[in-house]
């Protein structure tokens, strides 16, 4: 294998350029609609056909002796396709990804080690889940499915709704973790885990805030727990994104995956620090990991309501985007229980200033929407 070769899955032009700038010789796999000019180095495949995608990744990696397969998007199916290809190409490197993604495996290795202990029980059938839920105090979390889905059961009616549409097992029934949620991003190089950022969810009128609003004690405990998890999973290289809940008994790990945080968090980190998380990953893979200085300012992301797309939407987005403290504004598609909305990122020298600026953006947004009835 040539360590300077990289296979990119569905890359945009920016990622291809960044990989080249980092010194990599690149190949790519993607859908026909996004074909690049260098077609001799690109395989086109239907990304909805997981078997065809897996074959294309494995064939390209083997033919050209490529050790790195990189996908930095948010599609769960594509991440699973990469993991499946790695299991065939390099089982040792793929195993930590599986340990982190599988909620039952992750919880077992944590509980057995005494790190971030959370009550949890595995179940192979829906009826076993029903029995376990009866034994847990409500609310309770049920995690299941090939792409693990978490459902919070707060009542008997919730349980019956889950049973009626239960995904394939196995399942994990877990005590519900109550408290502020923190997204922890790390980058691992040769088994050393660097915490590159922490982001708070739902703080001071924002849906996301970076850097996280945490006490020194919670920050230290979170760092220790996340690094211990990555050690226990055996992760040797690459990014990881871990969800932590600050409970009344201290921080507890809720979930972790060997990948970058979702796009909104990456954009927020860039607004706060000036760093590009995708480029950090490429630097680490090239053998020249970067240091991560403290954020130079606070940044917050908020979701603004959007009933439907109207004729004046582009003009309204332009006005909001031109405000001098706004870094980014865009329409975001519906995701789970969150409907289609507008995401706006603002920055400031302090959390208080960010909150004030975010309030000004909301006020401006509401006024503009009132002037454009088609957005209501």
* pLDDT tens-digit series, residues 44-73: 899 888 899 999 999 999 999 999 999 998
Residues 370 and 228 in one domain: yes
Residues counted in the chain: 376
CB of 200 closer than 8 Å to CB of 185: no
Residue 101 within any structural domain of the chain: no
CATH number at 132 reads: 3.30.1490.20
pLDDT of 136 > 90? The answer is: yes
- Inter-axis angle of helices 76-89 and 91-101, nearest 10: 140
* The pLDDT of residue 375 is above 70: no
Q: Which whole number is the average pLDDT over 31-51?
A: 77
Question: Which pLDDT score, from 0 to 100, does residue 309 have?
Answer: 64
Please count the other Cβ atoms lying within 10 Å of the Cβ belonging to residue 163.
15
CATH at 50:
3.40.50.720
| 190 shares a domain with 171 | no
Q: How many structural domains is the chain composed of?
A: 3
At 208, is the pLDDT very low, low, confident or very high (cuts 50, 70, 90)? very high
pLDDT for residue 175? 96
User: How many whole angstroms separate alpha carbon 60 and alpha carbon 62?
Assistant: 6
57 lies in the same domain as 194: no
Residue 29's H or E segment, with its range, is strand 25-30
The number of helix segments (H) and strand segments (E) in the chain equals: 12, 16
Query: Which of 89, 110, 145 represents a domain boundary (last residue)?
Result: 89
The model's confidence at residue 307, banded by pLDDT at 50, 70 and 90, is: low
Give a yes or no: residue 94 inside a domain. no
Asked whether residue 39 carries a pLDDT value surpassing 70, the answer given is no
Q: 330 and 265 share a domain?
A: yes
Specify the DSSP element, H or E, that contains 3: none
Residue 104 placed within a domain: no
Q: Residue 335 sits in a domain of what CATH number?
A: 3.30.470.20
314 and 229 belong to one structural domain: yes
Radius of gyration in angstroms for the set of CA atoms belonging to the chain, rounded to a whole number? 22
- 312-350 pLDDT, tens per residue? 788 889 999 999 899 999 998 877 777 889 999 999 999
Same domain, 212 and 343: yes
* 335, 226: one domain: yes
User: Residue 229 in contact with residue 110, Cβ under 8 Å?
Assistant: yes
Query: Rounded to the nearest 5°, which phi and psi values hold at 248?
Result: -65, -20
Question: What confidence category does residue 76 fall into, taking pLDDT thresholds of 50, 70 and 90?
Answer: confident
Q: What is the per-residue pLDDT for 203? A: 83
Cis, bond preceding 139 (omega within 30 deg of 0): yes
pLDDT value of position 180: 94
Residues 6+ apart with CB under 8 A from 17: none
In a domain, 363, yes or no: yes
The pLDDT score that the predictor gives to residue 338 is 76
Work out the pLDDT band at 308, boundaries 50, 70, 90.
Answer: low
- Phi-psi group of 314: left, alpha or beta (phi > 0 → left; psi -120 to 50 → alpha; rest → beta): alpha
- The whole-number average pLDDT for the span 64-84 is 91
Would you say residue 292 lies in a domain?
Answer: yes
pLDDT at site 33? 66
350 in the same domain as 244: yes
Residue 111 belongs to a domain: no
pLDDT score for 37: 54
Please check the confidence at residue 38 and state whether its pLDDT lies above 60.
Answer: no
Percent of the chain with pLDDT over 70: 93
Angle of helix 351-371 relative to helix 313-321, nearest 10 degrees, comes to 150
186 and 319 together in one domain? yes
Supply the range of the domain harboring residue 144.
Answer: 119-175
Q: Is 200 inside any structural domain?
A: yes
Give Cα 33 distance to the centre of its chain.
Answer: 25
Give the chain's mean pLDDT.
90
* Same domain (yes/no): 231, 337: yes
More confident residue, 228 or 76: 228
Percent of the chain residues past pLDDT 90, beyond the cut = 70
Paired tokens of 209: 């805030």
Structure tokens at 15: 């990622």
Does 320 lie in the same domain as 199? yes
Q: Which helix (H) or strand (E) holds 346?
A: strand 341-348
Residue 132 lies in a domain: yes
Asked if 279 and 254 sit in the same domain, the reply is yes
- Asked whether the beta carbons of 43 and 32 are under 8 A apart, the reply is no
Q: What angle do CA 335, 330, 356 make, to 5 degrees?
A: 100
């Amino acid at each position: 294998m040539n360590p300077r070769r990289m296979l990119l899955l569905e890359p945009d032009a920016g990622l291809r350029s960044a990989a080249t700038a980092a010194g990599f010789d690149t190949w790519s796999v993607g859908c026909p609609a996004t074909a690049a000019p260098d077609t001799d180095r690109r395989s086109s495949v239907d990304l909805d056909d997981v078997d065809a995608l897996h074959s294309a990744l494995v064939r390209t990696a083997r033919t050209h002796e490529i050790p790195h397969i990189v996908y930095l998007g948010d599609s769960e199916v594509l991440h699973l396709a990469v993991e499946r290809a790695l299991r065939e190409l390099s089982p040792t490197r793929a195993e930590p990804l599986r340990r982190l993604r599988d909620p039952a495996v992750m919880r077992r290795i944590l509980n057995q080690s005494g790190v971030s202990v959370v009550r949890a029980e595995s179940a192979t059938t829906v009826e076993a889940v029903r029995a376990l839920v009866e034994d847990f105090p409500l609310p309770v979390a049920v995690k299941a499915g090939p792409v693990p889905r978490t459902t919070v059961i707060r009542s008997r009616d919730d349980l019956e709704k889950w049973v009626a549409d239960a995904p394939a097992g196995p399942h994990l029934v877990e005590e519900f973790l109550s408290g502020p949620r923190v997204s922890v991003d790390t980058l691992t190089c040769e088994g050393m885990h660097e915490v590159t950022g922490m982001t708070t969810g739902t703080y001071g009128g924002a849906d996301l805030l970076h850097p996280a609003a945490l006490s020194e004690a919670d920050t230290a405990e979170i760092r220790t727990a996340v690094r211990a998890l990555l050690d226990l999973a055996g992760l040797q290289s690459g990014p990881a994104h871990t969800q932590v809940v600050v409970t009344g008994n201290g921080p507890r790990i809720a979930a972790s995956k060997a990948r970058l945080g979702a796009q909104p968090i990456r954009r927020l980190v860039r607004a706060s620090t000036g760093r590009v998380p995708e480029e950090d990953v490429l630097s680490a893979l090239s053998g020249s990991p970067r240091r991560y200085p403290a954020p130079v300012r606070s940044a917050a992301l908020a979701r603004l309501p959007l009933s439907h797309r109207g004729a004046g939407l582009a003009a309204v987005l332009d006005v909001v985007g031109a405000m001098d403290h706004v870094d980014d504004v865009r329409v975001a598609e519906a995701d789970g229980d969150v409907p289609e909305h507008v995401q706006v990122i603002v920055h400031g020298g302090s959390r208080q200033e960010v909150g004030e600026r975010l309030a000004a953006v909301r006020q401006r947004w509401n006024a503009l929407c009132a002037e454009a009835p088609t957005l209501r």
